[in-house]
Structure 1
Amino acid sequence: MATDYDAIFKAYDVRGTVGDQIDADGARAIGGAFARFTAASGARAVLVGRDMRPEGEEFAAAFGDGAIDHGVDVVDVGLCATDMLYYASGTLNLPGAVFTASHNPAGYNGIKMCGTGAAPISADSGLGAIKAMAIAGPDPAAAKGIRTTRNLLSGYVDHVRSFVDLDALSPLLVVADTANGMGGLVVPAVFDGLPLVLDHLYPELDGTFPNHPADPLQSENLRDLQDRVLAVGADIGLAFDGDADRVFLVDETARPVSGSLTTAIIARSILARDPGATVIHNLICSRTVPEVIAEGHGTAVRTRVGHSYIKQAMAETGAVFGGEHSGHYYFRDNFRADSGLIAALVVLEAISRHPSGLADLVSDLDRYAASGELNTVVEDAAAVIERVATAYADADQDRLDGLTVNLGDWWFNLRPSNTEPLLRLNLEAPTPDEVQERVAEVQALID
């Protein structure tokens, strides 16, 4: 069946179900389009990698064939985590593509693409043009490109380790659940030889995900990690998604640590080394984050949700770090790209310097209660947002991304999904009871 380009081209990547939405022929067409798009900016070679999903090797090869047919060389980096592809793109100054469907279940695949130096490519910065060229069909070059292979794992390991003082690391017992995803390749490689003790759950690379989905944002997928942390008396649990560019934390009591609080931990650590630096956070992060940045004498910059906005703001401000509540953590010296493993090492260094443990470290930062992201199906998102805005007309509001309303001791953001008829509500208040009360209040207006 032909590739369904309208279905698979999303706001930030390409993603869909294998066979009925994306197939090898589609991968070849997109590879040719990517080659033409990047060649227009002067690139004469592209990087191609893949995760462990069953069809990844076939799709990556087809993508590379499409690029080669259009006169562009292909550097095949083989199995890799997404942040490893970003490292390769930044180090070799080449555009790249990695076949992955991230946290999606078996049966999905897709492509994350970047420009030279790991520059983001999203719907408003190239994906639309690539889609149009893929649909239009091939325009082969007279002279074909060539394919070479390259193993970048050891260089990537050294790069990840460069973000921390290795001598400061304590012999912490770390449980890592890589959920049969690409963390199974990169986590043990980074930990090898460090004074950390790794207890590894589901290390085998298996894109059928036989144990549980590689989506740590869903609480049920943390249960094995939480049980193991308690069973072995670990200092911390790390949960990686399928392509290992995101990490989620579980403390020594098995309590999950939110992406906002993880952002705060990393920001505090980085500002201790680089006082006065700028740190980016998206607008659904907890108020704790800008508070911690201010306490560290840093400058907080608030952005829209989404990696392209974070990376753009980092480029414009020279920010040293950026964090999202969803578990993406971006580092200036990682070509402004996100990395779950760099974030994990920075947290492990912070715990090593805080002998009372992660739970105690988090207790100072756990200042507010949050609703989490609550989704509501709506027919007209814009009309609902205007209705809610009118109801809170006397409060401070902004439209940076959807509607954010600040009501003193509580606030909320309401924004539409990029791809579905949904409104997403995030709300924060001083206590869980107040969160429940305020959510009911806002939800009544939405409904």
Structure 2
Amino acid sequence: MIEPQVFKANDLRGLVRGEHPEWDADGARAIGAAFARALDLAGQEFVLGRDMRAGGRELSRAFAEGAMRLGANPVEVGLVSTDELWYASGATGLAGVQFTASHNPSAYNGIKFCLPQAAPITPELMARIKQLSFTGLPSAPIPGTPRQADMLAGYVAHLHGLVDLSGIRPLRVVVDAGNGMAGLITPAVFAGLPVEVIGLYLDLDGDFPNHPPNPLEPANLVDAQAAVREHRADLGLVFDGDADRCFIIDQAGEVVSPSVLTALIARAELAREPGAVVVVNTITSTGVAEVIEEAGGRLVVGPVGHTHLKALMGRYHAIFGGEHSGHYYFRELWGADSGMLAALHVLSLVGHGAEPMSALARTVPHYPGSGELNAAVADPQAVMRQVAAEFAGEGAVSYEDGLMVRGDGWWVSVRASNTEPLLRLNVEAGDIGTMTRMRDRALAIIEESND
């Protein structure tokens, strides 16, 4: 069983539990066959991984059965973080499939796909997989066969080869895995480093009993903030469910904006390759652009979403990329995103200096922002038009990535989520008063649309 709405532009997500599940093992089997046909994998291998979500084992096995029926040979890498799956694809040169619903609630599961070398799947290919999933495909003359592979040691060695961690001072670090995949990979990645880990929710549990696996929501950061203060830690790391995103807490227990971290890592990467391209999305803080310019880099701006950013990383051979959602992309990881590699960069930045995380953050120009505010609305496009009318004549309007209005020292972004039925509002300005006024005007329109 598969409901058409589980297919998104670049991945698949839908309910697998509850009163109205949207896909099941039979659906996964059909999707596996469709994937093998769409990529013409008869006689070819692909890497297949999963996170700790309930039902992931059964769904991924069914997917493998469907792909094998069409002649494809799955390389089963078992429980992996999504960035470990990207590594597996890059290291083997094979297409990849990861069963995960990232930060969605526990009743969801999903699939992220990539082409060989961790290249992003295209919307056109995703549409082809969707079409074939509802088509009865004939079996291949020779069915595929699976094999198992353990990628963890290679993944750890690859990450350690990308960041200078030699000679860092001893650090005390809170790690909140949120019962997600970071609980499995952190001990392996941090082994041998002078890092004392204070672990929160490291046990794998796809029901997420302690808090939802979405660090973009402030409520999901409070446990790590409290632990940093209680243990007088140097910093905190909070990962999402599949560990491809990481949020940073400074030594005072305050959240470090992902835009700030983007600027700090970009500055470090540009120091080793001046003039390189750095990719960001449309709602990254203005301060990031200023840091990249000062560091002699070239800025490329693209739409929000990991598939868009990965594509731009490849197109411009960018050295690094960052998003407000905590996704960080690295050329030497085949342009893919990795929360754990971003965390190692933070350990390097803090561990090689005497200044605390908060002092490093203050080197990035600060612009007051609203943070991401989400609302469910019946007609997102109508709301965007109303917000555009509200600010008519005050700024330049564009629709390249939802709605963006840029005025004198401020911007307002309203866009539909790529992964959830939500409208997302982000506002930034040069001062708190302007930001608050612009935010409240846009919020009033969004809230009125639900009256």
Do they superpose with TM above 0.5? Answer: yes
User: 1:34 matched to which residue of 2?
Assistant: 35
Distance 2:398 2:43 in 1: 40
Distance 1:109 1:445, change over 3 A: closer
Distance 2:187 2:437 in 1: 45
Greater displacement, 259-268 / 427-436: 427-436
Distance 1:68 1:323, change over 3 A: same
Give the superposition deviation at 1:394: 5.2
Give the superposition deviation at 1:399: 2.9
* Corresponding residue SS for 2:280: strand
Distance 1:345 1:423 in 2: 33
* Corresponding residue SS for 2:253: coil
Deviation track 1:244-288 (CA, whole Å, cap 9, x = no partner) reads 000001111110112111111111111112111110010101001
Distance 1:354 1:10 in 2: 43
Matches within 5 A, 1:95-174: 95-122=95-122, 124-174=123-173
Distance 1:278 1:219 in 2: 31
Distance 1:425 1:26 in 2: 34
* Corresponding residue SS for 1:39: coil
* Corresponding residue SS for 1:15: strand
Give the superposition deviation at 1:295: 1.1
User: 2:7 matched to which residue of 1?
Assistant: 9
Query: Quick check: 2:81–2:243 contact (8 Å CA) kept in 1?
Result: yes
Query: Quick check: 1:370–1:429 contact (8 Å CA) kept in 2?
Result: yes
Distance 1:214 1:384 in 2: 29
Query: Quick check: 2:394–2:407 contact (8 Å CA) kept in 1?
Result: no
* Corresponding residue SS for 2:39: helix
Distance 1:324 1:207 in 2: 25
Distance 1:342 1:415 in 2: 28
Distance 1:83 1:418, change over 3 A: closer
Query: Quick check: 2:177–2:183 contact (8 Å CA) kept in 1?
Result: yes
Distance 2:99 2:129 in 1: 16
Distance 1:115 1:80 in 2: 18
Distance 1:394 1:181, change over 3 A: closer
Distance 1:208 1:29 in 2: 26
- Amino acid across the alignment from 1:13: D
User: 1:355 matched to which residue of 2?
Assistant: 354
Distance 1:120 1:99 in 2: 16
Distance 2:375 2:227 in 1: 34
- Amino acid across the alignment from 1:245: D
- Amino acid across the alignment from 1:396: A
User: 2:430 matched to which residue of 1?
Assistant: 430
Give the superposition deviation at 1:424: 2.5
Matches within 5 A, 1:242-257: 242-257=241-256
Distance 1:436 1:94 in 2: 48
Give the superposition deviation at 1:375: 3.3
Greater displacement, 380-389 / 208-217: 380-389
Matches within 5 A, 1:145-294: 145-294=144-293
Give the superposition deviation at 1:403: 2.6
Deviation track 1:55-86 (CA, whole Å, cap 9, x = no partner) reads 11111111111111111111100110000010
Give the superposition deviation at 1:366: 5.0
Query: Quick check: 1:35–1:46 contact (8 Å CA) kept in 2?
Result: no
* Structure 1 residues not aligned, in runs of 5+: none
Query: Quick check: 2:32–2:63 contact (8 Å CA) kept in 1?
Result: yes
Give the superposition deviation at 1:400: 2.2
Distance 1:111 1:377 in 2: 24
Distance 1:331 1:219 in 2: 26
Give the superposition deviation at 1:304: 0.8
Query: Quick check: 2:119–2:311 contact (8 Å CA) kept in 1?
Result: no
Distance 2:256 2:132 in 1: 43
Distance 2:430 2:79 in 1: 45
Distance 1:258 1:214 in 2: 18
* Corresponding residue SS for 2:324: coil
User: 1:344 matched to which residue of 2?
Assistant: 343
* Corresponding residue SS for 2:204: coil
Distance 2:274 2:333 in 1: 19
Paired residues, number? 443
Distance 1:43 1:360 in 2: 55
Distance 1:174 1:335 in 2: 28
* Corresponding residue SS for 1:375: strand
Distance 1:103 1:387 in 2: 30
Deviation track 1:131-186 (CA, whole Å, cap 9, x = no partner) reads 11111133210111111000010000001111111214221111101111111111
Give the superposition deviation at 1:380: 4.1
User: 2:408 matched to which residue of 1?
Assistant: 408
Distance 2:292 2:43 in 1: 38
- Amino acid across the alignment from 2:126: L
Distance 2:67 2:442 in 1: 50
Give the superposition deviation at 1:125: 3.5
- Amino acid across the alignment from 1:36: R
Distance 1:327 1:192, change over 3 A: same
Query: Quick check: 2:412–2:438 contact (8 Å CA) kept in 1?
Result: no
Query: Quick check: 1:281–1:324 contact (8 Å CA) kept in 2?
Result: yes
Distance 1:357 1:228 in 2: 17
Give the superposition deviation at 1:355: 1.4
Q: Does 2:300 match 1:310?
A: no
* Structure 2 residues not aligned, in runs of 5+: none
- Amino acid across the alignment from 1:65: E
Distance 1:180 1:378, change over 3 A: closer
Deviation track 1:208-259 (CA, whole Å, cap 9, x = no partner) reads 2222222111111112111111111100100011100000011111101121
Query: Quick check: 2:43–2:73 contact (8 Å CA) kept in 1?
Result: no
Could you state the TM-score of these two structures normalised by the residue count of structure 1?
0.94
Give the superposition deviation at 1:415: 2.3
Matches within 5 A, 1:323-338: 323-338=322-337
Deviation track 1:354-381 (CA, whole Å, cap 9, x = no partner) reads 3111011112225111011223454444
Deviation track 1:93-142 (CA, whole Å, cap 9, x = no partner) reads 111111111112222211111111111125x1411111111111332101
Query: Quick check: 2:305–2:418 contact (8 Å CA) kept in 1?
Result: no
Distance 1:44 1:324 in 2: 34
Distance 1:420 1:183 in 2: 23
- Amino acid across the alignment from 1:408: D
Distance 1:351 1:12, change over 3 A: same
Distance 1:424 1:236 in 2: 29
Could you state the TM-score of these two structures normalised by the residue count of structure 2?
0.94
Give the superposition deviation at 1:443: 3.6
Distance 1:200 1:423, change over 3 A: closer
